[in-house]
Amino acid sequence: MWLKLVIGGVAGASLVGAALVLMFGLLGRPWDGRNLAERLGMPRPAIIAHRGASYLAPEETRPAFLLARELGASYLEFDIQRTQDGVLVALHDDDLSRTTNIAEIFPGRERDTVDTFTYAELQRLDAGTWFNLRHPARARSAFRDLKILRIEQILEIAESGSPRPGLYIETKAAHRYAGIERELVQLLTDRGWIQRGGAAMGARLVFQSFEPDSLARLKDLAPDVPRLLLVDEVMASEASWDGLVAQAAALGQGIGTWGARWALGPHWSKKLGGARYVATWPWYTGRAHRAGLIVHCWTVDDRWEMWMVAAGGADGIFTNRPEVARAAYGGDAPDLPRLWQRIGYP
Ligand code: G3P
Ligand code: CA
């Protein structure tokens, strides 16, 4: 009798043990991401306003960042490039054809890259009207003739917020801009976002790039600022998940993967080819966590996907829709008309 009980107990305990090993091995341990974020001083889930609140306002413009700030986004996300005369500006695309009226102002230069324009030339462009034309249901007359922002203007928006959002800065097409990392670090140091001597303000500042070399330079210049390697379909088709995780771990503290929707969609599935995987499945997230990396997914705009990536263990999302994310992650629904009024874009 006793022997049977002992054998039964040992067998039961072994089964439970095996199940736990299997579960945590496959799915990752839910507390890992929480511990990593806490150690970095990073909000979790981090709501990273992708190009500002860019579903409701023209991307990387003043109202997009102001609205994101007022919505309580953890971070304002933007892409930096440099003008011909050395000004750092926020712009995503290589050229100005999608998000400005360049064809009207500088005919023939529609496909010229940003670095071939001076800052004064960029200031002649209207970076808001395209949005009204493309999204009439979200159009606002106040978006007409918005300007491309220099980085200092975004810092001012963040600095005057209460609470103050963090900055999540991408060195975009960094191979085209020799020395841009040094200029960025200098600017952020002068403005107090990086403390002289190297220490950052907790994780209120994060660097990100698709270019490992750029992250390596940032690591040298500002070792205490967290860095996240972004991963795209080309990188994913050339390397295994574990290979990407190892690369990200050598360069920084995070990995930026696509969200579930993109990986499940036919476009991406095709592009990912042999390396097709949904990086936000918990067993992938778990492996990143075990390598000491936080996981932030881009670009997650639907509530179902916000829940899905969170359930998979992701530590935050890049989103064009911080207003949706705030509600999805347990906040209240924002009073948008009041916020528009408050930031001066009624
Ligand atoms: O920067 C975060 C991620 O969304 C990268 O994509 O092309 O929007 O800068 P992109
Ligand atoms: Ca970006």
| Residue 245 structure tokens | 């995780």
- What pLDDT, on a 0 to 100 scale, did the predictor assign at position 274? 44
CA 13 to ligand 1 center in whole angstroms: 46
From the CA of 299, the nearest ligand is 1
| Residue 337 burial (10 A CB sphere; 0-12, 13-18, 19+) | exposed
Dist. CA 52–CA 42, nearest whole Å = 19
CA atoms within 13 A on the CB side of 253: 21
What is the number of the ligand closest to the CA of 300?
Answer: 1
Longest dimension (CA), the chain: 92
pLDDT, tens digit, 9 for 90 and up, residues 151-181? 999 999 999 999 899 999 999 999 999 999 9
Q: Which residues line ligand 1 (CB under 6 A)?
A: 50, 77, 79, 92, 170, 208, 230, 256, 298-299, 318
Residues 317, 259 contacting (CB under 8 angstroms): yes
- Please name the residue whose Cα sits nearest to atom 7 of ligand 1: 92
Is-contact 231 278, C-beta < 8 A?
A: no
Out of 79-88, 259-268, 304-313, the most confident range is 79-88
Cβ neighbours of residue 144 under 8 Å, at least 6 residues apart? Answer: 126, 128, 129, 132
pLDDT digits (tens, 9 = 90+) for 186-241: 999 999 999 866 555 668 999 999 999 999 999 999 999 999 999 987 888 788 88
Nearest protein Cα to ligand 1, atom 10: 92
Q: How far is the CA of 14 from the centre of ligand 1 (A)?
A: 45
Distance CA 46, CA 144 (A): 31
CA distance 337 to 277: 40
Using alpha carbons, select from 296, 246, 234, 245 the residue that is nearest to residue 271.
234
Q: In the chain, pLDDT over 90 holds for what percent of residues?
A: 76
Instruction: Please give the distance, rounded to the nearest whole angstrom, from the Cα atom of residue 301 to the centre of ligand 2.
Output: 15
DSSP H helical ranges for the chain: 2-27, 30-40, 62-70, 102-105, 119-122, 129-134, 151-159, 180-190, 212-221, 233-238, 241-251, 260-264, 266-272, 282-290, 303-311, 322-328, 336-343
User: At 144, which amino acid appears?
Assistant: R
Q: Is the pLDDT of residue 260 over 80?
A: no
Gap between the Cα atoms of 213 and 251, Å rounded: 9
Q: Any idea which of 27-36, 120-129, 299-308 has the lowest mean pLDDT?
A: 27-36
Neighbours of ion ligand 2 (CB under 5 A): 79, 170
Using the predicted structure, report yes or no on whether residue 272 has a pLDDT greater than 60: no
Mutation test of ligand 1: which of 47, 48, 50, 207 has the most ligand atoms closer than 8 Å to its C-beta?
50
Tell me the C-alpha distance between 139 and 145, whole Å: 13
Residue 147: is its pLDDT beyond 70? Answer: yes
pTM of the model: 0.91
Tens of pLDDT, residue by residue over 78-114, are: 999 999 999 999 999 999 999 999 999 999 999 999 9
Q: How far apart, in Å, are the Cα atoms of 123 and each of 71, 150, 222, 342?
A: 28, 10, 31, 25
* pLDDT more than 70, % of the chain: 85
**Three-class DSSP category at 62:** helix
